[in-house]
Amino acid sequence: MHQFLVSVVAFIVLIGIMVVVHEFGHFLVAKLCRVRVEAFSIGFGPRLFGFKYGETDYKVCALPLGGYVKMTGENMPGENLSTEGADREAIQTQQADPGAFTSHPRWQRILIGLAGPVANFVLALGLMWFYYAYINEVPSVQVKTTTIEWVTPDSSGAMAGFKTGDVIVKFDGVANPTWEQVYEHLKLNANQYISATVQREGQLVPLTMHVPSAARNDDFDLSDAGILPEMLPGPISVAEVQPGTPAATAGLQAGDQIESIDGHPFHSVTTLLAYMQAQQGKPMHLEVLRQGKTVQMTATPAKLDTSWKLGFATMPPPYENKPLPLGEAWTKSATFCKQNSWLVFEVLQRLFTHKVSVTQLMGPVGIARAAGDAAEMNGWLPKFGLAGEISINLGILNLLPFPILDGGLILLLLIESVMRHDISMNVKERIYQAAFVVLMVFFVFIIFNDVTKLPIFTHVKP
* pLDDT-above-70 percentage for the chain: 91
Pair 332, 262 in one domain: no
In a domain, 72, yes or no: no
How far apart (Å, rounded) are the C-alpha atoms in residues 352 and 347?
Answer: 9
Catalytic residue among 23, 149, 184, 389: 23
In a domain, 58, yes or no: no
Pair 448, 375 in one domain: yes
Pair 296, 341 in one domain: no
Instruction: List for the chain the helix, strand, coil content (%; round to 5).
Output: 50, 25, 30
Of 195, 229, 263, the residue at which a domain comes to its end is: 229
Q: Where are the alpha helices (DSSP H) in 154-257?
A: 156-160, 179-188, 246-250
Question: 83: how many CB neighbours lie within 10 A of its CB?
Answer: 16
| Structure confidence at residue 153 (pLDDT) | 92
pLDDT of 386 higher than 60: yes
Pair 219, 152 in one domain: yes
pLDDT of 136 higher than 80: yes
Pair 169, 252 in one domain: no
| Structure confidence at residue 87 (pLDDT) | 59
In a domain, 378, yes or no: yes
Pair 285, 332 in one domain: no
Helical axes 326-352 vs 381-398, angle rounded to 10°: 50
CATH code for position 274 = 2.30.42.10
| Structure confidence at residue 461 (pLDDT) | 37
Domain extent at residue 166:
148-229
What does pTM read for this prediction? 0.72
Pair 171, 252 in one domain: no
pLDDT of 182 higher than 90: yes
Domain count along the chain: 3
How far apart (Å, rounded) are the C-alpha atoms in residues 421 and 141?
Answer: 64
Pair 308, 329 in one domain: no
For 25-41, what is each residue's pLDDT tens digit? 999 999 999 999 999 99
| Structure confidence at residue 85 (pLDDT) | 55
Pair 332, 441 in one domain: yes
Pair 112, 207 in one domain: no
Pair 360, 426 in one domain: yes
Of 317, 346, 366, the residue at which a domain comes to its end is: 317
Residue 23 annotated as catalytic: yes
Q: Is residue 77 within 8 Å of residue 425, measured between CB atoms?
A: yes
In a domain, 19, yes or no: no
Tell which phi-psi region holds residue 425, choosing left (phi > 0), alpha (psi between -120 and 50) or beta: alpha
pLDDT band, residue 82 (cuts 50/70/90): low
The lowest-confidence range among 7-16, 64-73, 194-203, 317-326 is: 7-16
How far apart (Å, rounded) are the C-alpha atoms in residues 227 and 274?
Answer: 10
Those residues whose C-beta lies under 8 Å from the C-beta of residue 437, and which sit 6 or more positions away, are: none
pLDDT of 253 higher than 80: yes
| Structure confidence at residue 455 (pLDDT) | 62
In a domain, 60, yes or no: no
In a domain, 92, yes or no: no
Of 289, 317, 345, the residue at which a domain comes to its end is: 317
Long-range contacts of 302-305 (CB under 8 A, 24+ apart): 302/245, 302/246, 304/245
In a domain, 127, yes or no: yes
Pair 224, 241 in one domain: no
pLDDT of 21 higher than 70: yes
In a domain, 6, yes or no: no
